[in-house]
């Protein structure tokens, strides 16, 4: 499958050991396809078993999370934390609460996070965690009891120098608050740097809420400018999803002169040719926690269509998939291409299937993988950790400016690596290679590979 024998051997072993983990295999395969361009220049990697170590998480935790619902019944969910790689800093990555969560999804997200965090230029290793608990339809008290139980196990495995979780799908400010409260209660210490995405009144950073969506647009604006001499101005844009990433992506697109005409949730999408009314969207999603269909009920001139995957049939110039993994397949990609779309920049993690990526790149559209274009969230989490350590808070504009600078450097790192690999403008290759090289260098330097027969004892 790969031209490199070394990559083939390692991938075959991953396939054998992790056969039941399709998302994880998909993520590894994509990265290996890019590494093919550099692996031959580094024979020392094979000698050191570097890729074998890179694909294997340092530690995987799986635990029982019992909690009591409002009827007094005990329920049980499964909790995870995948501590993937700590070569360049403490494990860092979000927690996802969604019924689809399983080990494959946790491992693919942790694996991607290692490369993403490396790209941010900040000292953060990679990890991911979560549970198959569904916060939807639960009362605040139920969510609180679940979070308390989850943290009652997780607390012993995390810390500002060990592992620093944050939010992801299903884990927003409410959940992070409950998780932090329980951590503090157990350890009897105000250890703010143990989790990011905190509320502003207890150590959170301004602009963290906006960071992933804003950062996505800052990255995309660089790609449009340098690869097409273009910008968001006057562009018609689709943003799938309507959660944290999608909402602030839509806001920044609008500020930069684009018009967001369609957004979705897991049930369907809304089309508004006049451009999504952002205050209305924020009210529906943040205050009322209602379905996206409510938007069409309340905004004249808009309409609701069942089935979230149909969103790609809407004509647009730029597509930002910001919902979940594999949300755009070959059919969706074809629809975008046929409608004259010029760019697909990922906000979610791995939202395009491999077939969709091949079609989009084959048709000459600009394309960026989530690990590069959505890295603004974790980068700003890194800035939250810095502020916690320094015991001060930067203004919104200071954080936003730093975020903007980080996204510009991530774009440049990806572009430069794409040139070095002989594929100028292939931001997927650029992201995978640039992210990996830094981690590889740190892993080699730390010498974990040494076997006892290589060590000379005095």
Nearer to ligand NDP, 179 or 322 (CB): 322
CA nearest to 151, candidates 113, 170, 123, 178:
178
Residues contacting 45, CB < 8 A, separation 6+: 6, 39, 51, 440, 444
Residue 105 in contact with ligand NDP, rule: CB under 6 A: no
User: Site mask, ligand NDP, residues 381-420, x = CB under 6 A?
Assistant: ----------------------------------------
Question: Exposed, middle or buried, 7 (CB in 10 Å: 0-12/13-18/19+)?
Answer: buried
Is 128 a catalytic site residue? Answer: yes
Nearer to ligand NDP, 374 or 432 (CB): 374
Residue 324 in contact with ligand NDP, rule: CB under 6 A: yes
Residue 276 in contact with ligand NDP, rule: CB under 6 A: no
Nearer to ligand NDP, 186 or 299 (CB): 299
Binding to ligand NDP, residues 235-254 (CB under 6 A): 241-246
Which of 266, 310, 386, 409 binds ligand NDP (CB under 6 A)? It is: 266
CA distances from 351 to 109, 265, 285, 320, 374 (A): 12, 14, 21, 10, 12
CB of 196 to ligand NDP, least distance (A): 10
Q: Which of 128, 138, 198, 252 is catalytic?
A: 128
C-alpha of 327 from chain center: 14
C-alpha of 211 from chain center: 12
Residue 85 in contact with ligand NDP, rule: CB under 6 A: no
CB of 43 to ligand NDP, least distance (A): 35
Helices and strands (H and E) in the chain: how many:
17, 12
CB of 213 to ligand NDP, least distance (A): 8
Residue 32's CB is within 10 A of a number of other CB atoms, namely 22
| Segment interacting with ligand NDP (CB under 6 A) among 19-27, 140-148, 254-262, 341-349 | 341-349
CB of 210 to ligand NDP, least distance (A): 10
Which of 212, 293, 313, 361 binds ligand NDP (CB under 6 A)? It is: 212
Which of 30, 56, 272, 327 binds ligand NDP (CB under 6 A)? It is: 327
Q: Tell me if 260 sits within 8 A of 280, measured CB to CB.
A: no
Sheet of 268-271: strand order equals: 303-306, 268-271, 259-264, 236-240, 318-321, 343-345, 366-368
Residue 168 in contact with ligand NDP, rule: CB under 6 A: yes
Extract the tokens encoding 160.
């500002």
Give the Cα separation of 244 and 262 in Å (integer).
Answer: 16
Nearer to ligand NDP, 4 or 293 (CB): 293
CA nearest to 434, candidates 383, 377, 386, 368:
368
Give the Cα separation of 205 and 386 in Å (integer).
Answer: 10
Nearer to ligand NDP, 110 or 192 (CB): 110
Which spans of this chain sit near ligand NDP (rule: CB under 6 A)?
167-170, 212, 241-246, 265-267, 308, 322-324, 327, 347-349, 374, 377
């Amino acid at each position: 499958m790969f031209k490199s024998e070394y990559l083939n051997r390692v991938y075959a072993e991953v396939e054998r050991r992790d056969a039941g983990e399709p998302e994880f295999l998909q993520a590894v395969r994509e990265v290996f396809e890019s590494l093919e361009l550099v692996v031959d220049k580094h024979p020392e990697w094979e000698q050191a078993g570097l890729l074998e170590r890179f694909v294997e998480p340092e530690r995987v935790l799986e635990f029982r999370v019992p909690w009591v619902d409002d009827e007094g019944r005990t329920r049980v969910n499964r909790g995870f934390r995948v501590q993937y790689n700590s070569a360049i800093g403490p494990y860092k990555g979000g927690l996802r609460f969604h019924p689809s969560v399983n080990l494959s999804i946790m491992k693919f997200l942790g694996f991607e996070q290692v490369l993403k965090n490396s790209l941010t230029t900040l000292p953060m290793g990679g990890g991911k965690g979560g549970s198959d608990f569904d916060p939807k339809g639960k009362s605040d008290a139920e969510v609180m009891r679940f979070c308390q139980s989850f943290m009652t196990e997780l607390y012993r495995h995390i810390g500002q120098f060990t592992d620093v979780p944050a939010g992801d799908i299903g884990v927003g400010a409410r959940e992070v608050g409950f998780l932090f409260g329980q951590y503090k209660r157990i350890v009897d210490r105000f250890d703010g740097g143990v989790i990011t995405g905190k509320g502003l009144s207890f150590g959170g950073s301004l602009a963290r809420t906006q960071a992933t969506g804003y950062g996505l647009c800052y990255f995309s604006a660089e790609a449009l400018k340098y690869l097409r001499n273009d910008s968001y101005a006057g562009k018609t844009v689709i943003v799938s999803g309507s959660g944290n990433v999608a909402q602030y992506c839509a806001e920044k697109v609008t500020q930069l002169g684009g018009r967001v005409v369609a957004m979705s949730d897991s049930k369907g999408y809304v089309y508004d040719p006049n451009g999504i009314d952002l205050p209305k969207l924020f009210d529906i999603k943040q205050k009322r926690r209602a379905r996206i269909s409510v938007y069409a009920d309340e905004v004249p001139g808009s309409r609701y269509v069942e089935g979230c995957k149909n969103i790609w049939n809407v004509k647009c110039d730029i597509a930002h998939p910001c919902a979940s993994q594999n949300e755009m397949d070959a059919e969706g990609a074809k629809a975008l291409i046929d409608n004259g779309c010029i760019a697909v920049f990922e906000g979610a993690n791995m939202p395009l299937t491999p077939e969709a990526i091949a079609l989009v790149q084959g048709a000459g559209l600009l394309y960026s993988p989530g690990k590069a274009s959505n890295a603004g969230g974790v980068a700003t989490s890194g800035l939250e950790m810095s502020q916690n350590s320094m015991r001060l808070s930067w203004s919104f504009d200071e954080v936003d400016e730093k975020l903007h600078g980080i996204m510009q450097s991530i774009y440049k790192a990806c572009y430069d690596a794409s040139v070095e690999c002989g594929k100028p403008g292939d931001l997927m290759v650029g992201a995978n290679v640039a992210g990996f090289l830094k981690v590889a260098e740190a892993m080699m330097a730390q010498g974990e590979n040494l076997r006892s027969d290589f060590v000379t004892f005095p």
